Chain A
Amino acid sequence: MSETPIDRVDRAIIRATQAGLPLVPFPYHQVAAEVGTSPDDVMRRMRRMLEAGMIRRIGAVPNHYALGLVANAMTVWDVDDEAIGEYGPRVGALEFVSHCYHRPRRLPEWPYNLFVMVHGRHRAEIDDKVQCIAAMLGKACRRSDILLSKRILKKSGLRLSA
């Protein structure tokens, strides 16, 4: 899936920054010192990774639980295969959706192919949002389900050994 090659220095930059950017006035200089290259090289490489989509964005990663969004649901939908390419991006564009993916069905136990993560302050808010998605999908969706989260069993984030 990766088209753009990354080299040893890129990987060192990823390792040095995946847990966070240093909170100092010249953060990219500090990363450069850790990695053993120049600050200009670090900035050039990070801009390239941004343009190539290897970095999605740089900024604050909020803990949605700490901000009161304690209800989270994985909503799953059985959408016509011909229609999913049209509806997926529209559902993903809804402001309360954090992740929206096309994934394979696993028949017979799992008929759903559109996975949509929805966050809210309480269960009723989730239900409203699910209604909104259902209305958008209309007849393209045969059935759906809501999997509320009960507990976080582990959350360490992605730690690539790179």
Chain B
Amino acid sequence: MIDMTDRRIINALQGGFPVGERPYAEAAKGLGLSEEELIGRLGALIDRGVLSRFGPMYNADRIGGAVCLCAMSAPAEKFEDVSARVNAHREVAHNYERAHQLNMWFVLASDSQQRLDEVVREIEEETNSKVLAFPKLAEFFVGLRIEA
């Protein structure tokens, strides 16, 4: 379980962490905590999996990366096999099973669009299934405003 102080930390620090000499001390001041306590609690929240990580969130396509959402329809009897083949590619950042005819949705990330196109072709050959690519045309919002 997380206590009230953990909640305040999570709610206050989902962005805006300072870039400065002693940023944890600076952020801790606003929360009425010591630098040591904030660092300790952040470490514990990460260890317990409440936070995935603490730090900068990079925007892949602004730093020269290529990202694309893809979907495929994997037959039920071959689902685990298809999943293993898809996940074996290091370019697959995450992959979700979803309740739909298109039942497998994954995100590819790489250094170049050319490599993404190659991976799509490789997956199609390895799984004998069609991959639908959904590159983003416009981004209206990205962020997680989670109330802990």
Q: Do A and B bind?
A: yes
Instruction: Please list the residues of chain A having a beta carbon within 8 angstroms of any beta carbon in chain B.
Output: 1-2, 4, 6, 10-11, 14, 17-21, 23-28, 39, 43, 46-47, 49-50, 52-64, 66-67, 69, 74, 84-85, 88-89, 91-93, 95, 97-104, 106, 109-110, 113, 115, 119, 145, 147-162
Assuming the contacts A14-B63, A54-B62, A99-B141, asked whether A23 and B56 have C-beta atoms less than 8 A apart, the reply is no
CB of B56 within 8 A of CB of A147, answer no
**How many residues does chain B have at the interface if contact means C-beta atoms less than 8 Å apart?**
76
Assuming the contacts A56-B58, A154-B87, A160-B58, asked whether A67 and B19 have C-beta atoms less than 8 A apart, the reply is no
Residues of A within 8 A of B58 (CB): 14, 18, 49, 54-56, 158, 160
15 A-B pairs with CB atoms under 8 Å apart are: A4-B62, A55-B56, A60-B9, A91-B141, A99-B141, A103-B137, A110-B132, A147-B102, A154-B94, A154-B106, A155-B94, A156-B93, A156-B94, A160-B111, A162-B63
CB of B148 within 8 A of CB of A46, answer no
A-facing mask of B79-115, CB < 8 A → 1, else 0?
0000100110010111111111110111001010000
User: How many whole Å from A15's CB to the nearest CB in chain B?
Assistant: 10
Residue among A10, A58, A104 making CB contact with B16, cutoff 8 Å? A58
CB of A104 within 8 A of CB of B137, answer yes
Residues of A within 8 A of B134 (CB): 103-104, 106, 115
Q: Find the A residue at minimum CB distance from B22.
A: A25
Whether B64 is near chain A, meaning CB under 8 Å from some CB there, is yes
CB of A154 within 8 A of CB of B92, answer yes
CB of B55 within 8 A of CB of A17, answer yes
Residue among A47, A57, A97, A109 making CB contact with B141, cutoff 8 Å? A97
User: How many whole Å from A100's CB to the nearest CB in chain B?
Assistant: 4
Residues of B within 8 A of A54 (CB): 58-59, 62-63
